Amino acid sequence: RVILATRSARRGEAAASRIRRETGNNEVLFMHLDLASLRSVRAFASTFLRQEPQLHLLINNAGVSAGGTTEDGFSLPFQVNHLGHFLLTQLLLERLRSCAPSRVVIVASSAHCAGRLRPESLGRPPSGLFSTFQDYCDSKLANVLHARELATREQGTQVTCYAVHPGFVNTALFRHAPPWLKPLLLPLAWLLFLDASEGAQAV
């Protein structure tokens, strides 16, 4: 039984339908989740816990590379890539423990190597010429640190946690990139990046 938790109902329902059709597994369902809204994260978790008695695998995979500020006052990349996933994991952690052995997979990136987390301005967009790239890298560093700390805290519970770098994948990751940057990024993505099915193999 697989729950596709996505922001777009149209795309989520279409993906679930295609997977059911291609695999013959009718236990593939869509549920709405917008990681750019902590209210939506809490609503999803509440609905999931009420409807689904089992949870053995949580994959935190959504990501954006740039954007504005969310309704919660955080930069869009930092909230979607990290804070929303962090909150979701915490809200579902007890269910993961009760269904152990279980695991959490956090889709991070080797871009975490360029991340710098500043506690006094955590979640706010960094300044500077490359602030968009820095914001993304910071969120990916937060992913890796989250995975490491969660793995440490869950030792002995049979809940295991992993951060994975899927490679450079040609998805809609750059849809919020500044207009001046897109002509540079998009041809590069088409020429050199993995396609989505190749990127999914690491996960």
Which of the residues are catalytic? Answer: 136
Question: In the chain, which residue ranges form alpha helices assigned H by DSSP?
Answer: 9-23, 38-51, 76-78, 84-98, 131-153, 182-192, 196-200
Tally: H helices and E strands in the chain: 7, 5
H helix or E strand, kind and range, residue 4: strand 2-6
**Helices 84-98, 38-51: crossing angle, 10 deg rounding:** 20
Alpha-carbon torsion 195, 199, 201, 203, what sign? negative
For β-strands 2-6 and 28-32, DSSP reports them as parallel
Alpha-carbon torsion 120, 126, 127, 128, what sign? positive
How far apart are the C-alpha atoms of 100 and 160, rounded to whole Å? 9
Radius of gyration of the chain (CA): 17
